Structure 1
């Protein structure tokens, strides 16, 4: 494993222009030869966009595999990429939301979806006024790769937290506007944890609600992260504050608003979403289904 990782590190030091040549090869293999999860991708797209023609679905699917291949190589690059290069390649728009939250003495709950390339958020920690930035991650089975992936998340002064630890960490620490917690909030809950669902992309969708529970118990600043691929290797992130309809958030209000904003983002550029994931496999386990979204 260590030898393999040393090879990966050497590989990741190559310029992105060179790595994208390898991305082209990966695309050819995944899309044309292997057909990696093509059935899953096609089914997800058809159910999410029932009014689109077969030709439109095919075009989105092909573009998705190109973006997915870039994502794989960009993730390899994450092992060695500098904060200076990330700040050139990722433009952060509307950073005022972080300054406002700090002035209000409210910690930030940053909510993002699986839009390419969510792995390149990390340099945000170097430009916002908050001292503490906590990317939230899920453990992988291999302890070796767990350590290496956590190392990526800990780059640039971040302090990665495992998903099962983060809620407890937030409750135990001071809400003083000095911390940002970075959630990939469209994760699929384990079947044993599915309690709530909503209509997302024209499908019954189990929703992770851990961060939503925070909204009714603590006075936090919730921020939606909209990722946009400008061109190959360059991204733009817009940050939007999520406010309650009333004086305070009510149960499931944040999770509903997040999914609505994410759905709008996906509809703009559907090929930038992670369609190879079996997002809707636990529909049957939903106990409470939200309607009218």
Structure 2
């Protein structure tokens, strides 16, 4: 059944990805109308999240953020489809890394890197980083239930040469390469919600006390990797600017969980400045009453 669904859907997705971006954004506008005005996809979740973290804002202000978020979410959906077939030339033009040259210094100094990022802007197009760095590029992902679509997502995200590794295997993979002296850069979405009973630390995220994912910090300390924050900003529709912000070259010198706190401070600053570009449809605060 999984294979049949994949065979039916994949050709349609591939054909969509071949369309020019201006056509895909028209489809994004249609999708927004259906998702927001007709079906109300996750509007309750989004509204609850915004009311929780922005109690100082009026209902009108929060509704405007929600509306702009759904427009952005629909753009992310078509941009992810485009990632199936987008050319390197086009994505370099649309996703610009402003200071990739700083990674050369880390490489020359024999430093591997953990790149911490949040679900902000367009995290799917960050794969172009692999073309800009001397390190071996990796990205962490969670396996999908449908093995065929899992292979499709993996193939798409590896479009520009990065290697995708599951969250269950990333520690052993990086440890082996570290032992061999291979220099790596690993992209980790670090604002995800840990499973109940599997978290070691909780703190405030946008003013709400929740469990924190600390795996990136723990990995950095274990292997003595440099930690960098990837700040992604939306310049205009279809165009993003990414800036690499060094966090620490000496993670072992920091008290436990301070690096995690630093990451969330950086992410919060972005969200408060332009909240519409964060992933509000995710139930990030669902465990707030269980810490």
Global fold match (TM > 0.5) = yes
Once the two structures are overlaid, the 10-residue window that deviates more, 200-209 or 226-235, is 200-209
Q: Which residue does 2:270 correspond to in 1? A: 265
Partners of 1:158 and 1:189 in 2: CA distance = 25
Q: Which residue does 1:138 correspond to in 2? A: 142
Q: Deviations over 1:42-66 (max 9, x none)?
A: 1101111111111110111110000
Structure 1 residue 4 corresponds to structure 2 residue 18: no
Partners of 2:276 and 2:132 in 1: CA distance = 29
Partners of 1:162 and 1:77 in 2: CA distance = 23
Q: Residues 35 and 41 of structure 2 are in contact (CA less than 8 Å); yes or no, is this contact kept in structure 1?
A: yes
Unaligned runs of 5+ in 2: 1-5
CA shift, 1:100, in A, is 2.1
Q: Residues 216 and 251 of structure 1 are in contact (CA less than 8 Å); yes or no, is this contact kept in structure 2?
A: no
Cα RMSD of the aligned pairs, angstroms, is 1.6
Q: Which residue does 1:283 correspond to in 2? A: 288
Any runs of at least 4 consecutive aligned residues in structure 1 with deviations exceeding 6 A, and if so which? 244-247
Q: Which residue does 2:156 correspond to in 1? A: 152
Q: Deviations over 1:124-144 (max 9, x none)?
A: 1011122x1001111111111
Q: Deviations over 1:207-258 (max 9, x none)?
A: 1111111233232110000110001100000110002799822211211100
Q: Which residue does 2:3 correspond to in 1? A: none
168, 171, 178: which one pairs with 1:167? 171
Aligned residues: 285
Unaligned runs of 5+ in 1: 287-293
TM-score, normalization: structure 2?
A: 0.94
Q: Deviations over 1:233-285 (max 9, x none)?
A: 00000110002799822211211100110000111110000000001112344
Q: Which residue does 1:66 correspond to in 2? A: 71
Q: Which residue does 2:23 correspond to in 1? A: 18
Structure 1 residue 251 corresponds to structure 2 residue 256: yes
Q: Residues 226 and 250 of structure 2 are in contact (CA less than 8 Å); yes or no, is this contact kept in structure 1?
A: no
Q: Residues 215 and 249 of structure 1 are in contact (CA less than 8 Å); yes or no, is this contact kept in structure 2?
A: no
26, 37, 45: which one pairs with 1:40? 45
Partners of 2:162 and 2:8 in 1: CA distance = 27
218, 234, 242: which one pairs with 2:239? 234
Q: Residues 136 and 182 of structure 1 are in contact (CA less than 8 Å); yes or no, is this contact kept in structure 2?
A: yes
Q: Residues 108 and 220 of structure 1 are in contact (CA less than 8 Å); yes or no, is this contact kept in structure 2?
A: yes
Q: Deviations over 1:8-42 (max 9, x none)?
A: 10111000100001100110011111111111101
